[in-house]
Chain A
Amino acid sequence: MMNGRAIRAIVRKDLKVVLQSKAVLIPLIMVPLILLVIIPAVGGLLLANTDPSSPAITDFRRETGAFFDNLPGTINDRLQQYDSEVQRITYVVFNLYFPAMYLLLPTMVANVIAADSFAGEKERKTLEALIYTPTTDRELYVAKLISPWLAGVGVGWIGYIAFALIVTLTTWSLMGGVFVFDLAWLLLILWVTPAAAGIGLGAMVLVSSRVSTFQEAYQLGGVVVVPVLLLLFGQLGGVVYFSPLVAFVVGAILWAITVALIVYGARTFHRGELMARL
């Protein structure tokens, strides 16, 4: 039986401490804001105000001809529902370019917060008192994982809602409805987002014993995470069509890596060793 009250106390503390740190908060706010609000807003407004017969559209369509022609069948069927080329381009931009970018967020957020809560705690010399508490090693470990994971998933979900709202509102005149929500998005949000946050966390589990400051942890964590994500999403020059099947498979891979890293971490997490390295 784990001591829920103690775990909640540590999670509450870690989240409170994070909210007090500019070095952590600024990337946490700025990156989602740029990726999920500002860029979609600008893109949406531009597309919504583009003359469908403008040469820019024809040029773009010609240059990306091969890409459009080779889209999987399911998405092609979806695209046939639209009358104009601008609508089709809009659909593709927000449903093909954004999901991968969106998935970087939970990973990054979990990574930053885990860096602060693992290495930052060592750096600020607050770990020692925590080690002396009557928690078990397992409770301490679980508690330390929860706050970064919660924050990663939370920012992911809030970010998606903001993104969907912004895209829908800015393109309303063009698209006339919500077009960034379907089964694939649902899987991305509920299945892949928590796993993506898990990767950010797992990377930190891997590096945290080898670093002693927040900055080191943050940078080394990135070194571990980026290749994994690039491998998964980067195949098509940054564009993956997340069909429900792809979303499911990507999620399953991320979950498998996450679970492996967390189990590995649990095996090597002993307060005696933390203390000796303090």
Chain B
Amino acid sequence: MTSQAIQTQGLTRRFGATTAVDHLSLTVETGEIFGFLGHNGAGKTTTVRLLNGVLGADGGDIRVLGLDPAADGPKLRARTGVLTETPSLDERLSAVDNLTIYADLYAVPTGEVNGRVNGILETFGLAERGREKVGGYSKGMKQRLALARAFLHQPDLLFLDEPTAGLDPVATQEVHDMILHVSREEGRTVFLCTHNLVEAQRLCHRVAVMEQGQMVAVGTPRELAHTIGADMRFTLEIAPDQVETARAAVIPLAAVSAVETTDAELTLTVNDREAVPDLLAALQAAHVRVYAVIPQQTSLEDIYMALHRRKGQA
């Protein structure tokens, strides 16, 4: 058994003049949560379809769980679970019916179907309304049910296409907890498509950034920050009555590219590490008392923006 859940080499798919996926070479390790980031139309959904053998590739090699999706589609799909972009639920049927049908389709052992369906409805907080028609569910409930359906046959590899799009913060948090649970407790591999950078940062071990079908960066969020050399951010804790003084003292410094203030904090973005000692010296000269210097991790958002700027310059 290979330790790579997914491996592609030069994977390409065109739709007419559009190249939806353009020579994508990608490796996803078994057990990781892999973030697949990109704007609308970047090629995320198309990639998921190619990886599951439900759409043909125009070129390149694919191995998923050691199988070739084009040749062994059914065998492969028995071991993957997919949360599609739209929940794709039968709204005229109940949650129990929706899940039972898919338990049969994914060959859940016959004797276990009822237990599995009821258990997963319980886990996803839908047990009480499991016999109601799905058409009457809220968006969050539908999303949870679709997620439950993707987990039902305990797949080795989960594809989640924008699992929290359109959900409120509470529902989003619940979905995040579920994803972390199946990853940490059950050791499943997760391929997470999203354009939510905070989500990717919170959940993913590694992320790939897609633009117009091409992968423009890949690595841990920290690695990306380093390779791209994105700006550095940190927060200073100071006395409330000195916030304005501090602000006035740092703004003239060339290395400072942004200043955000709250009632007792100053968050600075600098484009050079060497600027930090100078900055502290300037504050001291202005008699600002600094109680703490808290480094802020470079967010994916910064990486994303940096990539965009680079692309714009090129």
Contact = CB atoms under 8 A, between A and B. Distances in A.
B77 interface: yes
A272 interface: yes
A9 B110 CA distance: 12
Nearest to A276: B55
Contacts of A275: 49, 54-55
For B77, B97, B104, B110, the residue with the greatest tally of chain A CB atoms inside 10 Å of its CB is B104
Nearest to B100: A9
B107 interface: yes
A17 to B, nearest CB: 5
Given A9-B105, A132-B77, A134-B105, A126 B88 contact: yes
A92 to B, nearest CB: 45
B105 A133 contact: yes
Interface residues of B, number: 33
A153 to B, nearest CB: 23
A246 to B, nearest CB: 42
B15 interface: yes
Interface string B107-123: 10010000000000000
A10 interface: yes
B102 interface: yes
Interface stretch (B78-86, B213-221, B257-265): B78-86
Interface residue range, chain A: 20 to 34
A272 B101 CA distance: 22
A276 B77 contact: no
A26 interface: no
A182 interface: no
A128 B77 contact: no
Given A12-B101, A13-B101, A129-B84, A134 B107 contact: yes
A247 B52 CA distance: 48
Interface string A99-139: 00000000000000000000000001111111111111000
Contacts of B77: 132-134
B90 interface: yes
B55 A134 contact: no
A134 B88 contact: no
Contact of A136 (B74, B86, B88, B110): B74
B251 interface: no
A128 B15 contact: no
A61 interface: no
Contacts of A124: 90-91
Contact of B90 (A6, A17, A133): A17
Given A8-B104, A9-B105, A17-B93, A129 B55 contact: no
For A21, A125, A132, the residue with the greatest tally of chain B CB atoms inside 10 Å of its CB is A132
A124 B131 CA distance: 20
A5 interface: yes
Given A126-B90, A133-B77, 12 more contacts: A16-B93, A17-B90, A128-B88, A129-B82, A129-B84, A129-B88, A133-B106, A134-B73, A134-B105, A135-B74, A136-B74, A271-B54
Interface of B: 15, 49, 52, 54-56, 73-78, 80, 82, 84, 86, 88-93, 97, 101-102, 104-107, 110, 133, 146, 149
17 contacts: A5-B104, A5-B107, A8-B104, A13-B97, A16-B93, A20-B92, A20-B133, A125-B88, A126-B90, A127-B88, A128-B86, A129-B84, A129-B88, A129-B146, A132-B84, A134-B76, A276-B55
